[in-house]
Structure formats: C-alpha cells, structure tokens
Structure 1
Amino acid sequence: MERNEKDVLSQKNEEISSIEVVQPRIERLICVIRDKQVMVDSDLAVLYQVETGALNRAVKRNVQRFPEDFRFQLTAEEYENLKCQSGISSTKDRGYGGRRTLPYVFTEQGISMLASVLHSEVAVNVSVGIMRTFVEMRSFIANNALLFERISNVELKQLEFQKKTDEKLKQVFEYISDHEEASQKVFFDGQIYDAFSLIVSLIQKAKREIMLIDGYVDVGTLNLVSKKKENVSVVIYTQERTRLTESDVENFNAQYPVLEVKYTKVFHDRFLIIDREKAYHVGASLKDAGKKCFGINRIQDDEIIKSILQRLESEAGLE
C-alpha cells in the first residue's frame, strides 16, 4: 500500500514544470490501497460537509449500491500503514484520531455513487470535482509513464485504456453539473431506489409550489413530497377513495407545511407540476414507482401545461 504516485514522485515535479495540477487539496487525499486509488470516509465527509458517521450511515442504508469494488473497510495493518505514511498529526486533523472503528475507503466508482445517496448540491458538485481529479491523475500518469518505475506494464495498459474513455466521462460530468434531467426516463421492475431518487430530485427543484395529480396516494406519497424545500406548498389532486386520512394530512402539515388535498375524478394519468412551469407525465403512482416498468416524461409543450392547470382550476371552481 502506498500514497498516490504523484505524491511519491513530488521531488521530480520540478522536472515537469509544464504540467499544472488542478485541485491539489483533493489530490493529496487520494491514496493507493490494494492497488486501487481510494479516498478515506473522513476525508470525503469533510469535502461533502457532513459528519463521517452520517456519511457511513447513508451508505449503510443503501449498502446494495456499494459492492466491495466501490467501498471496503481497511484492515488494522492497512490503517496503521496509512497513519504512518500520512503523519500522526495530519491523521488526527483528518478525523482518524480516536476512531472506534476502522475507516472505510471509497474507490472512484464508490465516490460517484455517493452523490446519489447524499442528495445535496454540495455532494453533486464535490463528486464532480473529485471525479475530475481522478481523470486528471490518470492522464498525468499515462503522459509521464517514464517517471513511474513502479507501475507495471499491465497497469500502464489499463491507464491508457481509461484515458481513452475520459472524454466520455467529461461529458457525463457536464451533464451532472448542469442539473438537467433527461426529458424521458424508463425504469424497470426492481429499480425502486433509482425511481424514487429521480422523483425526489424533481420534487426538490420546486421553489414555490408542487402540484401532484395521482388517483392513488398514501403515506408513502407523503414521504416523497416531504423531501421538498422549506416553504414550498403542495397540492395533491386524488380520488376520494384515497388511503390518506385527515390525520395523515394534519401530521404532515405539523412538520412540512403546507399540504392541501383536493378530490377529482377527471384524471386517469398522473402528473407532477413544478412551480406551474415544468410538468411531468408519470406512468405509475408515486407510491408504486419502481415496482413495475414505468416511464417519466417531461412535457415540453407549454400549452399542454396551461391546459392541465386550467382544468384543475375549473375542477376547483366546481367544489
């Protein structure tokens, strides 16, 4: 186990003055363990502005998304070697001192997965920066292979292959950083977490109001809309045979005001309308998202959105 190759050869950096290193703070936090470039959970927690325990609890709640090649726990020997190579004082600063359990480390794939688990703009932006640093480091190593005598021929071939794919990865990073969802998305049976994650991300885009048209709602639906931003109102249009009770609505409003439930029979399909500007056609009730194959489509035609809003207003006038 050794720190990342760039730090190992820091004394030779003057020989390659034409190369600039972006985000040096992040690069210093990347180390090599079990022949993989990884970052320690406590370092990631600092970057994501969360507690280390909170980060690991979020991962444990979604542990199926973090297989061994995404995240693994250090052995006692690996932990001691890491502390020795990092320096005792720096390891305390980074949160290692006084830990009751051995740290977890995350590979590049695991770090990219963290953004979807933590559900925050900070996590998305930091993950993009970290992933770009991984890309930059691979490019650095591949372009300066002669400086790294410890890298085997097999590792160099792997780095060269990864370098060829980095351009596509950069396009993915740009997609993430723009926070723009695809106009169409299909989920297959079993993709419950992915479906819920997308729906929550749409709900969190609302700045003023969320309007949901869904004939079958229950407490599970309220769990989703509770992810909204503070001071965003919610109006749910559903059928009178809804499973929601007055007590459910009162309990919701006590913690996440303001929710209003209205009843209508004229809609068969489900629609999610954000701030009366963006609308989505949802192929399944929100409470059942991911249980069977369904799709979510962004409605691009503003006239259609206006028509839906006008119908809702006419329904309200008939009450």
Structure 2
Amino acid sequence: MELQPIQSKIYEIRGQRVMLDFDLAELYQVETKRLKEAVRRNIERFEGDDFMFVLSEKEYEILRTQIATSSLTSQNASSNWGGRRYPPFAFTEMGVAMLSSVLRSETAIRVNRAIMRAFVAMRNYIMTTTTVTAELAEIRARLALLEQTGKDNAEAVSDLSEDMRKELDNIYEAIAALSVKVPQARKSPQPIGFKK
C-alpha cells in the first residue's frame, strides 16, 4: 500500500496529527458506522485525547473549508464530508494503532501497518524539515552578520581611503609647492687656498 494517499488523510487538529473516522473506514474497507460501533463497544481502549477525540462542530467546519485535496473533494456527500449527522472521530497515531486490535481483520492489520509507516514517515519528514529549517535560519543569521561586518569594513575602508586621499593630496600639494619654487642661481664657489 502506498504511503502518499494515507499521508494526505493525516490532518493536524488540536496540535496533534490525526486521521478521521470516515477516511479510516474507507482504508479498512468498512462502513464508517461499523467502525464507530466497534470503537464504542471498546471505548475503554480509546480513553483520553491522546488516542481519540470527537471534533467540535467548529473544528469540523474549519477543516471542511480548509482542506481542498482531491481525496476530500471527490468523496460523495452522504458517506463523508457532507450530510453527516455527527462530527467525526479523530484518531491519533496511538488511536489508529489501537483500532487494529478492535477491528481484527486481515485488511485492518495490513492497512494498519501502512498507516503506522505513514505516521512515522511524516514524523521523520517533519523532523528533517525542522532540522533543515533551523540550519537555514542559522545560515541566514551568519550571512546577515557577515553582511553587516562587510558593510562595517567597507565604511572603515572608505573612511581610511578618505584619510589616505587627504594625505596624498597634502603630499602632492607639497611636491607641487616645491617644484614651483625656482632655485636661485648659485655663484660659482671660491677656490680654496692662496691667491697668486
């Protein structure tokens, strides 16, 4: 079973990655009603929001309006998104793992393995992405620091260049002043010694 179709049915709700009852029922090849019945008969296995919770009407509406994937828009209104009497159950990774013990079919076991792999793949992807994002942020910070240092150095060189230019101008002016002065003609030196 491919992981991509499963991953597209994993949503983030209440800060947790979850799968909805009707998506799971489709994967397990059972009716949503039967899946919910099996869960209710074994509700003690799903106690706590870390296994399963029921979406509020508001969460359900937000999810319906925000998700626009082909798997959601192609589902017919009576079985999944539209025409539902009750908000769906949302199963966390641990809740999905628990479902295999409740459903007890070959399909459930096979699908559960694929779903667990999909959750792990998503977690690994998110961890890798988070690590890469952190590394990119560090590189950006270093580049910003280098850029600022470069600007500071350029300003210092510019200041130094200005000072050097002024000094060179002073030297050129001094040389020009010296070359403008006409040397006085020197008298021929008097010979040293006795005159005859």
How far did 1:146 drift?
Answer: 5.1
Matched, 1:124 2:109: yes
**Secondary structure at 1:79's aligned position in 2?**
helix
- Taking a change above 3 Å as real, the CA distance of residues 32 and 89 of structure 1, as seen in their structure-2 partners, is same
Query: In the alignment, which of 25, 33, 43 is matched to residue 53 of structure 1?
Result: 33
- Taking a change above 3 Å as real, the CA distance of residues 107 and 148 of structure 1, as seen in their structure-2 partners, is farther
Contact between 2:3 and 2:117, CA under 8 Å: does it hold in 1? no
**Secondary structure at 1:38's aligned position in 2?**
strand
Query: In the alignment, which of 33, 37, 43 is matched to residue 13 of structure 2?
Result: 33
Contact between 1:141 and 1:148, CA under 8 Å: does it hold in 2? no
Q: 1:129-174 CA deviation, whole Å, 9 max, x = no partner?
A: 000111111111111215668xxxxxxxxxxxxxxxxxxxxxxxxx
Q: Relative contact order, CA 8 A, sep 6+: which one is greater?
A: 2
- The residue that corresponds to 1:103 in the other structure is 88
| Unaligned stretches of 5+ residues in structure 2 | 135-196
How far did 1:34 drift?
Answer: 0.3
Query: In the alignment, which of 89, 93, 107 is matched to residue 73 of structure 2?
Result: 89
Q: How does 1:284-303 map to 2 (within 5 A)?
A: none
Q: 1:149-208 CA deviation, whole Å, 9 max, x = no partner?
A: 8xxxxxxxxxxxxxxxxxxxxxxxxxxxxxxxxxxxxxxxxxxxxxxxxxxxxxxxxxxx
RMSD: 1.9
- Taking a change above 3 Å as real, the CA distance of residues 112 and 147 of structure 1, as seen in their structure-2 partners, is same
Q: Which of 1 and 2 has greater Rg? A: 2
**Secondary structure at 1:106's aligned position in 2?**
strand
Matched, 1:67 2:47: yes
- Taking a change above 3 Å as real, the CA distance of residues 65 and 31 of structure 1, as seen in their structure-2 partners, is same
Aligned letter for 2:127? A
Contact between 2:55 and 2:90, CA under 8 Å: does it hold in 1? yes
Q: Distance in 2 between matches of 1:70 and 1:104?
A: 10
Q: Distance in 2 between matches of 1:75 and 1:91?
A: 21
User: Paired residues, what number?
Assistant: 128
Contact between 2:53 and 2:90, CA under 8 Å: does it hold in 1? yes
Contact between 1:83 and 1:91, CA under 8 Å: does it hold in 2? no
How far did 1:89 drift?
Answer: 3.1
Q: Distance in 1 between matches of 2:127 and 2:76?
A: 33
**The structure with more strand, counted as a fraction of residues:** 1
Question: 4+ runs of 1 displaced by more than 4 Å?
Answer: 90-94, 146-149
Q: Distance in 2 between matches of 1:77 and 1:110?
A: 22
Contact between 1:70 and 1:109, CA under 8 Å: does it hold in 2? yes
- The residue that corresponds to 1:224 in the other structure is none
* Percent of matched pairs sharing the same residue: 46
Q: Distance in 2 between matches of 1:145 and 1:133?
A: 18
| Unaligned stretches of 5+ residues in structure 1 | 1-21, 150-319
- Taking a change above 3 Å as real, the CA distance of residues 33 and 118 of structure 1, as seen in their structure-2 partners, is same
Matched, 1:139 2:118: no
Q: Distance in 2 between matches of 1:138 and 1:129?
A: 14
Contact between 1:42 and 1:95, CA under 8 Å: does it hold in 2? yes
Q: How does 1:1-319 map to 2 (within 5 A)?
A: 23-68=3-48, 69-87=50-68, 89-90=73-74, 92=76, 95-145=80-130
TM-score normalized with structure 2 length: 0.61
Contact between 1:66 and 1:110, CA under 8 Å: does it hold in 2? yes
Contact between 2:12 and 2:18, CA under 8 Å: does it hold in 1? yes
**The structure with more helix, counted as a fraction of residues:** 2
Q: Distance in 2 between matches of 1:92 and 1:79?
A: 17
Contact between 1:31 and 1:39, CA under 8 Å: does it hold in 2? yes
Contact between 1:108 and 1:134, CA under 8 Å: does it hold in 2? yes
